[in-house]
Amino acid sequence: MNNFYVLIHLTKHLNNQLRDSRFLFGYSPHRDVLELYLDITGNNIIRIVFSSNPAETSLFLDKHRPRKKSNVTTFFESTENDIIDSVHLSDNDRYIYLMLKSGKKILFRLFGNNPNVYLIHEQIIKESFKNRWNSEGNPEPEPRPASKASELPGEHLSARQKITKLFPKFPRHLIDGVIDHYQLEKKRSGEVLDIVSPLVDEMINNPEFRVLGDGNLCLISEHLLPLPTAKSFDNVNDAVRHVYYNTSRERRLSAKLKTIKPKLEQAIRKAESAVTDLEKADKGLQRAKMYEQFGHILMAHAHEHLSPEAQKISLPNFYSNNDPIEIPIKQGLTIAENAENYYSKSAKAIRNVEVSKKRLQTTKQNLRELKELLQSLNNIDKIFEFDDWLEAHKESLERLGILSGSARSESLPYRQLKVDGFQVWIGKNARSNDRLTSDAHKEDVWLHARGVSGSHVVIRMGNKKEMPPSHVIFKAASIAAWNSKARGSSLVPVIVTKRKYISKQKGAPPGAVTVQREQVVMAEPQKKVT
């Protein structure tokens, strides 16, 4: 979706659609996704959707959709009502620029393991979608320089290597298909050049926008590259949007399945093992019978004297022609007491068998239910089907131990609590502090005990620019004081500031930040606040 040839045509499409449009706002509806809202012509609102997930990096236009109202982070507020002057692509790199009439520009970096979006003014990054603490204030990223023309690649190279040497931007997912169709493994470098050049020319000058059966996007017509077409589109934006939403749905469905399927499979293995063990429970009846016989034999000789040091006794076994049998005994007990001990062991063995038989029935029933759940889960191929399935089977999944009532979603790496209606986050350790501060919105209130190590604490403000009530600040400050090295003090100075005044220097250790503006309150350390 983000190869250079696709971006050539996408940039043209964006420029035609967005020129002279007015920037409204940008926000992140969920992780790794940024949406920019623009007014094209008087209340005709459209969205730019950007995905920074490396597995599905993408950029496209989509129709207007009402924004979420809570638990979202906003971006690029300083560009509100700015006008887009043009959209262009760097000559040799996957950088797309929205040029604004104010002189600012929004840069989409669509490659690598860390795709990102930057707001740039006077060649300095003023705001960043991802990794803000490592990006903001740095110079504008520079695209790679044009590669120099080179001689034909050596004949010792593979066909794949020859293509990438001749055409560094050629879409990697199409190379194997090109090699197979044109039998390039046996071709010399000059022949590879002659065959692949028309394919590149078509991608640039006469593209077709088709999605292949494997879900990838291809700009080469089927008569030049006969890979099966799943769907064709009139423009590149519609093709990219289709591929993204299909890929995104598959990834999100896969992520949801992984929260349940491995646990079901593990529970099935455990149940199968338990059934195997419980089916051996009848051997307990043999032990019970043997213990009872030992008791009877011992009781028949209860009047006899037993040496206190004896560990076993040999007696006639009247269950087997009075042949002698050695019976282990406990030292310090009489023969009658040892007999009673064996009667108790026999009764216990019988009870264990009865319990095991009941457990066997229950375990077999659970195993059947687990297998039915797994089979029905394997038939799901849409997210809404998974959600419906989870809701329908929630009670069974909790009863079978697949879901716990308190852990139905991934837990955050920091603690959360409510303080007078405000959500408060508390870091658990240095790395947790980093994640907490990174996840916080710029208008959230950030607190930390001054001059000592401790937890980062954040009061969530729901995008509101004002400060919370003072009693909420003091309660959160008390929590920050308690979760610091100064908790033994009667009063602790605590930094209070907005998250936007916190930055992290490149290379700084986990948990270390720089505070650009602060107020200090004195707080009494308290583990819990009321």
Residue 356 has pLDDT above 90, yes or no: no
Can you tell me the distance from the alpha carbon of 299 to that of 307, in angstroms, rounded to the nearest whole number? 16
| Cβ count within 10 A of residue 143 | 15
| Contact (Cβ atoms closer than 8 angstroms) between residue 373 and residue 264 | yes
Residue 407 has pLDDT above 70, yes or no: no
Domain ranges of the chain: 4-135, 159-234, 268-410, 414-523
According to DSSP, residue 196 is labeled: H
Q: Token digits for 29? A: 């509806």
pLDDT of residue 410: 43
| Contact (Cβ atoms closer than 8 angstroms) between residue 325 and residue 317 | yes
| Contact (Cβ atoms closer than 8 angstroms) between residue 233 and residue 242 | yes
Q: What is the pLDDT of residues 432-491, one digit of tens each?
A: 999 999 889 999 999 999 999 999 999 999 878 899 999 999 999 999 999 999 998 999
Residue 74 has pLDDT above 90, yes or no: no
| Contact (Cβ atoms closer than 8 angstroms) between residue 119 and residue 25 | no
- Measured in degrees and rounded to the nearest 5, phi and psi for residue 47 equal -115, 140
Length of the chain: 530
pTM greater than 0.75 (yes/no): no
| Contact (Cβ atoms closer than 8 angstroms) between residue 21 and residue 64 | no
**172-182 and 159-166 helices, crossing angle to 10°:** 120
Q: What is the pLDDT of residues 259-294, one digit of tens each?
A: 899 999 999 999 999 888 888 877 788 888 999 999
- The CA dihedral of 377, 380, 381, 382, to the nearest 10 degrees, is -110
pLDDT of residue 149: 60
- Given the candidates 2.30.310.10, 3.10.310.10, 2.60.40.10, 3.50.50.60, the CATH classification of the domain at 4-135 is 2.30.310.10
Residue 401 has pLDDT above 70, yes or no: yes
HSE value, Cβ hemisphere, 13 Å, CA-based, for 266: 10
Lowest mean pLDDT, pick from 86-100, 179-193, 316-330, 504-518: 504-518
| Contact (Cβ atoms closer than 8 angstroms) between residue 449 and residue 485 | yes
Q: Token digits for 301? A: 């000789």
Can you tell me the distance from the alpha carbon of 157 to that of 160, in angstroms, rounded to the nearest whole number? 8
